[in-house]
């Protein structure tokens, strides 16, 4: 079995497991992510000629850097950031960037569906305005607790968006 196929199969297992657990309990276990990181680093150590460890670390950095601001403003949980960084570790920098963009699109679609079914348009608008207005006005990211926030419009399992995006990328990679 090729090095890349081994990485892709482990990644497939990780994102599907993370999505299922996130759907069930709205958390992504650190133990799952730690096992995934150990697996990818172990594969790179076993056969360093097959893949670039620096490329893997670059992918993790991109996944982390592009998702941590969303965590900082309360848009997602820390487990989602760690999962995206782990996905980046498997994909490398260019595919990690693509995975982040695709995940934002899938996550946005999921958020719209949640808002539609909960009929909480007003609360969603208020929360989005409080989140984006300081950034648009050049005041920087909002300070948690500075503005009165309305209740969340619904918990979203962002691990599912990450998994769907990653699965799409893996299908594209292996489909002729």
Task: Report the pLDDT value the prediction gives residue 135, as an integer from 0 to 100.
Answer: 65
Domain that holds residue 111: 3-174
Task: Report the pLDDT value the prediction gives residue 145, as an integer from 0 to 100.
Answer: 52
Assign 57 a pLDDT band (cuts: 50, 70, 90): very high
**Eight-state DSSP code of residue 146:** S
End-to-end CA distance of the chain: 18
Task: Quote the pTM value.
Answer: 0.84
Average pLDDT over residues 95-102: 97
Assign 47 a pLDDT band (cuts: 50, 70, 90): confident
Higher confidence at residue 101 or residue 76?
101
Assign 140 a pLDDT band (cuts: 50, 70, 90): low
Cα angle, residue 104 at apex, residues 140 and 151 outer, rounded to 5°? 65
Structural domain total, the chain: 1
Nearest-angstrom CA–CA distance, 19 and 64: 18
Q: What is the 3-state secondary structure (H, E, C) of 125-155?
A: HHHHHHHHHHHHCCCCCCCCCCCCCCCCCCC
Average pLDDT over residues 140-151: 52
Task: Report the pLDDT value the prediction gives residue 148, as an integer from 0 to 100.
Answer: 45
């Amino acid at each position: 079995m090729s090095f890349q196929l081994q990485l892709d199969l482990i990644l497939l297992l990780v994102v599907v497991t993370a999505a299922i657990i996130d759907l069930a309990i709205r958390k992504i276990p650190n133990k799952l992510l730690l096992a995934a990181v150990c697996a990818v680093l172990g594969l790179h150590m076993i056969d360093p000629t097959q893949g670039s460890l620096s490329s893997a670390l670059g992918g993790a950095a991109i996944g982390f850097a592009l998702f941590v601001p969303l965590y900082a403003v309360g848009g997602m949980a820390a487990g989602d950031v760690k999962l995206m960084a782990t996905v980046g570790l498997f994909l490398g920098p260019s595919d990690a960037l693509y995975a982040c963009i695709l995940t934002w699109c899938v996550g946005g679609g999921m958020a719209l569906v949640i808002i539609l079914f909960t009929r909480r348009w007003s609360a969603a608008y208020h929360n989005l305005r409080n989140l984006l207005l300081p950034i648009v006005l050049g005041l920087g990211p909002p300070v948690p607790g500075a503005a009165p926030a309305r209740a969340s419009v619904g918990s979203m399992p962002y691990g599912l968006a990450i998994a769907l995006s990653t699965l799409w990328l893996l299908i594209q990679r292996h489909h002729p």
